[in-house]
Structure 1
Amino acid sequence: MDPRDLWTEALAGVLARPMRSALTTLGTVLGITTLVITIGVASTAGNQIVGRFDALTATSVTVKVPPAQPDSADTVPLVDWSGTEAVRRLAGVESAAALGDSATTNSVQVRANDVNAPGDTSGQTLAVVAASAGLPAAVRGTMTAGRFYDAGNLARHDQVVVLGDQAARLLGISRVEDAPAVFFKGQSYTVIGVLGGIERERRLSTAVIVPPTTGADRLGLRDVSLVLVNTALGAAEQVARQAPIALAPGHQDSLTVVAPPDLSKARDGVQNDVNGLFLVLGLVSLVVGAIGIANVTLVTVMERVGEIGLRRALGASRRQVAGQFLLESTTIGLLGGIVGAALGIAVVVCVAVVKQWTPVLDLTLAFGAPLAGALVGLLAGLYPSLRAARMEPVDALRAPS
């Protein structure tokens, strides 16, 4: 047989029973769809769950301090630079530091020398911020060169700075052994260190960091604008409640706290993600099962045309014929629900034993699975049973057996 003739015969065979072919094709489509959905939804839900657990493990708390009002008669700052010491004494706090910046120091022309030669590109526009001495630990950074200023530099109001690693690269400073200087706002400052590997407040990698005492004297950076706190795992929520009180007793409501999400809310979110994932997979699997039952029942009707015709000839009504096939498909669904629930419970228990987990079984779902299977079988058998009921006795008896 020529391949074209073979294709023609195959196509004719498919089109001879279009509904059966359509159901068979739909079963394959849903099977492949289930595979794609399983992989895609599992990856999506997995990413969502990982994101939630990343939020859980976050131990960073940020306290934002509103700027002081220029016309305020109260000259006492809302948060003092020494307030971080009170925060460090809180249970669960591992490190804390305060930052101060202003609109006038966010874009400052900084030069690596004080010679204005034609074509010289050593000047860069950088942010200048004041920070307390505990900044490296608070931003989870490391000193790639030199050291960070200490309490002695603060007490002496030394004109020293620490550069972020990107700022140092822009200014062409890689070593601090020779005490290089930078110049801005008409003043010279000695570079004593370079801070790199910054994980929090990464904008500081392109900033010039000055001691708060020097910033207050020469740059007007008197007020704290941000407090960074790192906590132990699980202590962020408690520290987020206590830090504003420690920083501004009596005015804690004026501060804004940014903290990781509540553990119970994250747990509920993860549970909802998992439940949603398996609910979608379960529903798609039920649809595939329904298509399979419908396909098998329709095939059964086609193969039992003679039997249907004989029953109709002997006096069986359309309702009785339809009821017979509906009952058959419902029985198939019921048996499938019972076997599926038993296998599902067995698989859950086996996986839990292998993984040394505690098996968690929903008895409502286990006992309701047979009823769900029966309902799926009932719905799947509607069309085949109606097809059988519409057969006329004479046409059914004339059909080939």
Structure 2
Amino acid sequence: MTSPREHRPREHRPREHRPREHRPSRHRPRRTRLRRTRLRRTRLRPTDLLRLGMIGPRTRKTRSALSALGICLGIAAVIAVTGISFSNQAHLLARLDQLGSNLITVSPGKGADQQPVPLPATAEKMLADIAPVQQVTATGATKAQVYRNDLVPPQQTGSITVLAARLNLLDVLHATVRSGRWLDGASESLPVTVLGDQAAQRLGVTASGERVWLGGQSFIVTGILAPNELAPEIGTAALVGWPQATAHLGADGTAATVYLRSHPERVPDVQAVAGATADPASPSTVAVSRPSDLLTARSEAKSALTGLVLALAAVALLVGGVGIANTMVVSVMERRGEVGLRRALGARGGQIAVQFLLEAVLMGLIGGLAGLLLGGLTVYGYALAQDWPASIPLPVLVAGPLVSVLVAAVAGIYPALRAARASPTDALRST
């Protein structure tokens, strides 16, 4: 009889670690594709360009200041020459206008029978409605005669006439009172008179307050006029107020002579229409005075001064442009190491050119603004010393800085291109 099997604990044997066999995969291995990334060119922002342009003026302050001073003096010369010339021209033209270059005289002409044809009663008002006409005044004829006293024979008139005068006669003719005073609203209806310089001399009147015999009654002399070259006819006349002349001296109220002050540039136009305006029915019987020779002198003086200003301005700008070009060329030669280092670090030639061009433009702008200020002060100071009206044309004030920037840009083109074409290796080797 067999004995049962003895139960024995089973020994634990550690399994041997066998490396797992690498079985080939059924799938194909993935191919990694390398993407080619393009390097984008760096572009400088406007603020970066401005900082680059300020490198030269900040690091070389003395040279930049001298360059700006050159363009400053050029622009200041342009402003000063232009302003002083225009101020002198304004003073000259004002004097010419004061002498009568824009004064037109309308008076009765002669008809077919060679007799004077009076102006219509509406002539003065119609002439005042012409657009370029700025001032209008008139004198009227009377039937009165003037004497020193009532004892003088009537035939001894002394070639003195009695004229009715508007209150603005002296303003339009730019006449002055040598002594006494002119007629006003209160005295034009009273028996008072103002004598011309020659009339006072012939009557023996030396001061205001004396009496003369005029139209059969005594008149008080309130003033004596100074000589006037524009209207010599008032120098031999006794002038009375318009209401007094029509009421007591036989004046019919119509104008015998009309004086016009027109815009200086529109004198020929006013002259062309004055006859037909004063008497539309018969313009040929109206005598219209031609502008004096002073008008021709006025236009010639204006053209001559304008040509002189343009010539001097061109010379001054040329000098300023040459100064900036010279300074920028020297700056490029001295900064070859900086240019080479920037090119070696990746800066393109266009960026180098823009840097130096901006430096030139900034110096031109600073010099232009400083020249504008300096030239303006010079003009106003000189005009004040000469008692002239200071005049600087607005286009010149605006164009001064703009022209300085343009001249500086043109002057900086060659140095900027020269810096852009510099080889990095040659530039670095020269340091």
Task: Report the TM range for the smaller structure's normalisation.
Answer: 0.3 to 0.5
Q: Higher relative CO (CA 8 A, sep ≥ 6), structure 1 or 2?
A: 2
Structure with larger Rg: 2
Higher helix residue share: 1
TM-score by length of 2: 0.40
TM-score by length of 1: 0.42
